[in-house]
Amino acid sequence: MSKEGRCDSEPVHNGSPPATLSARLGQIHQSWLDTLTPFCAARWATTLQLLLVYMIRVYTLQGWYVGTYALGVYLLSQFIAFLSPKVDPALLDEDEYPSLPTRQNEEFRPFIRRLPEFKFWHSATNAILVAMVCTCFDAFNVIAYWPVLVGYFIMLVYITMKRQIMHMIRYRYLPFTHGKMTYQERTSRLRAFMKGTG
Domain that holds residue 139: 38-101+108-176
| Average pLDDT estimate for 79-96 | 73
Of 142, 164, 159, nearest to 64 (Cα)? 142
Residue 24 lies in a domain: no
pLDDT of residue 158: 95
In a domain, residue 138? The reply is yes
* 58 found inside a domain: yes
Quick check: is 187 in a domain? Answer: no
The pLDDT confidence band at residue 16, using thresholds 50, 70 and 90, is: very low
In a domain, 44, yes or no: yes
Helices marked H in the chain — which ranges?
A: 21-36, 40-61, 65-83, 117-134, 146-171, 183-197
Task: Answer whether residue 52 is part of any domain.
Answer: yes
pLDDT mean over 169-189: 66
Q: Provide the domain count of the chain.
A: 1
For residue 119, tell me if it sits in a domain. Answer: yes
Whether 19 is in a domain gets the answer: no
Question: Does the pLDDT of residue 189 top 60, yes or no?
Answer: yes
What whole-number distance in Å separates Cα of residue 174 and Cα of residue 171? Answer: 9
- Give tens-digit pLDDT for 112-169: 788 888 999 999 999 999 999 999 999 898 888 989 999 999 999 999 999 998 888 8
